[in-house]
Structure 1
Amino acid sequence: MTVATDRTPSAAPPPGNAADASLAGFGYRQELRRRMGRYASFAAGFSFISVLTTVFQFFSLGYSFGGALFLWTWPAVLAGQLLVAACFAELAARYPISGAIYQWSTRLSSPAFGWFTGWIMVVGQVVVVAAAALALQVVLPTVWSGFQLVGGDPAPTTVTGAANAAVLALVLLVLTTLLNVLDNRVLSAVNRVGVTAEIVGAVLIVLLLLTHAERGPAVVLRTGGQGGSFAALLVGSFAAAYVLIGFDSAGEMSEETVDPRRTTPRTVVTSLAVAGVLAGLLVLGGLLAAPSLTDGRLATEGLGYVLTSSLPAGVGKALLVDVAVAIAVATLAIQTAGTRMLFSMARDGVLPWSARLSTVSPRTGMPYVPALVVGALAAALVLLDLASPAAILAIGTTCIAMLYLAYAMVTGPMLLRRLRGTWPGPDGGERDERGDPLFSLGRWGLPVNALALCYGLLMTVNLAWPRAVVYDPEGGHWYFQWFTVLFLAATLAAGAVYRTVGSRRRSAAGLPGS
């Protein structure tokens, strides 16, 4: 099947409203149910980012390498990602289609390049689902020892902690998969309630930590960690890099959003900006309120240690319950984004079993088969945690690197279009659903796009670099040291094999290529 592009007019009849007519112009029927408003769209992006999930999961890593100085990696990463988000906002206004990263890359470059972008992105999203689900181990055993079902030390870096993390993650994945096959009104409601609870909880945590400060703001100028060197800070930036991804999920839900050309560009940027500010304040509050910066606990137990040590026991545990809710909602949102990516690619007939993967339930309006596939694959990855505690970090950094690479595979072709003069300017005549000009960077588009691409490529290399001190600190697991590189290579190889074999089969059958 040939993928419809912005240069390929559709023969589909125009549906009844402007958003559905716009989708028909790209060659697709409106099958998903368009019910999401602006807050629900914001929630889709914010819940994927989920500051409570990711800050609590990766705070200890950032501090162990960069010490208190690692706080400064947050504004640096946020600035870089805002450049990417600004580019994505332009794309979301012009291509309001599910499977955003895949669709954008395809329309900016070629179906083959877009396919690999979508393939890397969807595999990365599956890995992110697994990483998010594993984060329950960071908080639940601290709330109540009964959640340590396996017994032994609950620390995620221990054998028993890693095994228990896998058990908790599997239970969570069953629940999120069930929600992803229900009506999208239920999904949207859970997302909105969860995001509201997370924002309220994050603000409360920040206020409580700042009012229980043990030291002044000057602490963020200390090095600590492994010397605070530039190399150590590059590793410390992993925490911010992991937190500030997923804002594109608002674009993934475009076909379910009311007035997507107007709504989605704004929610892509605002979800990232709000999450970035809250995450930075959480880190700052943790550094100021920690009972000690030198007893080693901040580098192993992270922000959960600060909450339970600095606040009254009941308050600290109540806030950790809110963090657990945020982790569950984040896992749900990430799985939803991966589901929409699979659905979008399968709808173009470019994946194995596309007919099944592109099926939408007439009763619920949900693509249930992709939800089952994403859930099952994430569960398989979670089981790696039973092999070694090092799997948690390997899984986490792999998913970030893959998403950063996929982002660069969008901003790269976009930059080429700008350099060739084929990217539409702000006076291109296109309008959103209310008749206003589409979101545009105007004359800032070229420098913003160029910086976004450079930042994305540099961060991808930083994340994938096989540092033994990070990925295999105890030695003996060389495959974890090289896990990100090997996993990415295997992903690309599997994709190349599938496309080669599929192309030969289509040629033999006399069918057009995709």
Structure 2
Amino acid sequence: MDSNAAATEQAPPTPAELQRAEQPRLARRLGVGGNVLITLSSISPASSVFILGGAALTTYGTGVFWAFVIAGVVSILIAFCYAELASAYPVSGGDYSLVTRALGPAFGVATFFISLVSLPLILAVFGLGVADYLGVAIAGLSPLGTGLIVVALATVTACFNIRANAWLTGVFLFIEFAALALLAVLGFISIERSPLTLLSPEFLDPSTNEMAPLALGGLLLAVTQGIFAYNGYGGAVYFSEETKNASRSIAKAVILSCVITVVAEVVPLTAILLGASSLPGLFGAELPVESFLAEQSGDVVSLVVLLAIALAIINAIIAIALQAGRLLYTAARDNALPAALSRPLSRVTSGSRVPIVATATMGIIALAACFIPMDVLLTATGSTVAFSYLFIALAALVNHRRKAVAGAYRMPLFPLPPIVAMLVILGIILSALLDPAQWLSLAISVGIVAAGFLYYVAYLRPRSGTHLVLLDAEEEAEAGLGGERHA
């Protein structure tokens, strides 16, 4: 045997590895279905249709049909990238874990910074937005007070057993999909125009208040809106170490979550475009989807559906809180943080196998973020998704050339999925550069990425022997292939 190899085999474990070996691990208690339930809940297709879809209808008119279909294709290509990476590296931690292993620690830490900032801010955005929908039944709700209560309750719920959370989010998700199904039925039973009218994109020109052809640039911007509306299917990766046979199951969970989301959003939006009594009236409404719902079903049904959307948003907050806790726990377990922080944040409860300290910490950050004005929160999170997707696509492009583990998922049509995804994301970033209104959001995202690289170079790289210590190949194989030793 080579002397260097023998020395490597006999090297004593590092303090970080000893600490990790002694601690309880996340338990494998989810099947593919449970993972998909939580992931779909974090996406919240119903709130995407009402909020992002409604805003797109106002701005891009019938162009929403083509835009969301094209965005669906792009999203599925990105899902292929996630699926292959997650199958190769079945480790909790989301984008951070995948990018670290495929592109190296510098890109991984930059991705960690993106998620560390964006996840609690998104929790705050959703929490502050709940009052808009609960307000239809309870007048005078304070967005701040409501947001604080909802985020706090969601954080507590996220500290429960992962299987209990899967059941709970599943119940809320059923209500959410019932609301989407109602929208689709209302539109398709009262079709006012031929589907062929959707093939020529038109929008309501505010200068003339009449319908006009939508330019190609407008359609591309609408595609961007669609990509953001579908965002979240990669969240399945956060639960890799809690899903049975993860190296095979997570790929299925990612792709299923993406396909279900695309269908769940495209179908009701198409139904609304076909069933609205007047397209100018629909596009001119302040809240197009709510306006269509009230027109077709009346005030009572509309009230019930809006309350269902409030539940959908609360459900999304619970699911994202689960993801946020796994992100911080994984980074702490890897010693990507100072030791004084890593020790408590990497703890998992012995009974429920939940990273309670990490989950509660992210919840506290989200509670503090609720005091930030909504427009600032939206600006701070506006461009972060683009950089996350860009790193994932690049990671998939680089990683595909490595030898795959037996039974691991391999994306079809390689290298088309990552290349197309990268081109689209670069196009989104370019469009932001050309729009002065997006400069601040883009600058914040670039600053977050730069801070991640700087933190790695200045703090982690000089401490490479004790910090950022990843799972070894044997531990990753056990995590992915269904080992139950720690369950």
Q: 3-state SS of the aligned residue for 1:482?
A: helix
> In 2, distance between residues paired with 1:448 and 1:238?
17
Deviations, residues 194-227 of structure 1 (Å, cap 9, x unaligned): 2232223322321123223444434433512355
1:27 Cα deviation after fit: 8.6
One-letter identity of the residue aligned with 1:109: L
One-letter identity of the residue aligned with 1:338: A
Q: How does 1:114-513 map to 2 (within 5 A)?
A: 114-141=108-135, 143-144=136-137, 146-149=138-141, 164-220=142-198, 221-226=200-205, 228-295=214-281, 298-352=284-338, 353-385=341-373, 391=375, 395-396=377-378, 398-399=380-381, 401-418=383-400, 422-424=401-403, 428=404, 430-431=405-406, 437-441=407-411, 444-462=413-431, 464-465=432-433, 467=435, 471=437, 481-503=438-460, 506=463
Q: Report the CA distance shift for 1:241/1:446 in structure 2 as closer, same or farther (over 3 A).
A: closer
1:412 Cα deviation after fit: 0.8
Query: 2:397, 2:415 within 8 Å by CA — same for their partners in 1?
Result: yes
Q: 3-state SS of the aligned residue for 1:366?
A: coil
1:108 paired to 2:102: yes
Deviations, residues 267-308 of structure 1 (Å, cap 9, x unaligned): 100111011011011211222333443347755213122212
> In 2, distance between residues paired with 1:28 and 1:244?
39
Query: Could you state the TM-score of these two structures normalised by the residue count of structure 2?
Result: 0.82
Partner of 1:155: none
Structure 2 residue ranges without an equivalent (≥5): 1-7, 206-211, 470-487
One-letter identity of the residue aligned with 1:177: T
Q: Report the CA distance shift for 1:11/1:73 in structure 2 as closer, same or farther (over 3 A).
A: farther
One-letter identity of the residue aligned with 2:140: Q
Query: 1:245, 1:400 within 8 Å by CA — same for their partners in 2?
Result: no
One-letter identity of the residue aligned with 2:331: M
Partner of 1:91: 85
One-letter identity of the residue aligned with 1:412: L
> In 1, distance between residues paired with 2:380 and 2:282?
26
> In 1, distance between residues paired with 2:24 and 2:416?
36
One-letter identity of the residue aligned with 2:204: G
Q: Report the CA distance shift for 1:232/1:378 in structure 2 as closer, same or farther (over 3 A).
A: farther
> In 2, distance between residues paired with 1:67 and 1:346?
46
Q: 3-state SS of the aligned residue for 1:225?
A: strand
1:378 Cα deviation after fit: 2.5
Q: Report the CA distance shift for 1:268/1:292 in structure 2 as closer, same or farther (over 3 A).
A: same
Deviations, residues 229-254 of structure 1 (Å, cap 9, x unaligned): 22333333343122211111111111
RMSD: 3.2
Q: 3-state SS of the aligned residue for 2:29?
A: coil
Query: 1:405, 1:457 within 8 Å by CA — same for their partners in 2?
Result: no
Query: 1:126, 1:378 within 8 Å by CA — same for their partners in 2?
Result: yes
Partner of 1:42: 36
Deviates more, 1:192-201 or 1:48-57: 192-201
> In 2, distance between residues paired with 1:298 and 1:398?
29
> In 2, distance between residues paired with 1:363 and 1:12?
30
1:493 Cα deviation after fit: 4.4
Deviations, residues 382-434 of structure 1 (Å, cap 9, x unaligned): 3333xxx6x1xx6446535312311221221331344xxx422xxx5x44xxx
> In 2, distance between residues paired with 1:86 and 1:118?
21
Query: 1:99, 1:341 within 8 Å by CA — same for their partners in 2?
Result: yes
Q: Report the CA distance shift for 1:9/1:483 in structure 2 as closer, same or farther (over 3 A).
A: farther
One-letter identity of the residue aligned with 1:192: G
1:380 Cα deviation after fit: 3.2
Q: Report the CA distance shift for 1:102/1:503 in structure 2 as closer, same or farther (over 3 A).
A: closer
Query: 1:92, 1:265 within 8 Å by CA — same for their partners in 2?
Result: yes
Query: 1:125, 1:403 within 8 Å by CA — same for their partners in 2?
Result: no
Q: Report the CA distance shift for 1:34/1:513 in structure 2 as closer, same or farther (over 3 A).
A: closer
Deviations, residues 341-393 of structure 1 (Å, cap 9, x unaligned): 111111111124222221222243111222223223223333333xxx6x1xx
Q: Report the CA distance shift for 1:126/1:513 in structure 2 as closer, same or farther (over 3 A).
A: closer
54, 60, 63: which one aligns with 1:69:
63
Deviations, residues 423-469 of structure 1 (Å, cap 9, x unaligned): 22xxx5x44xxxxx322236x2222222222223323444x44735x
> In 1, distance between residues paired with 2:156 and 2:462?
36
> In 1, distance between residues paired with 2:319 and 2:395?
27
Number of residue pairs matched by the alignment? 448
Q: 3-state SS of the aligned residue for 2:279?
A: coil
Query: 2:41, 2:173 within 8 Å by CA — same for their partners in 1?
Result: yes
Higher RCO (CA 8 Å, separation ≥ 6 residues) = 2
1:98 Cα deviation after fit: 0.4
One-letter identity of the residue aligned with 2:416: P
Q: 3-state SS of the aligned residue for 2:60?
A: helix
> In 2, distance between residues paired with 1:265 and 1:505?
35
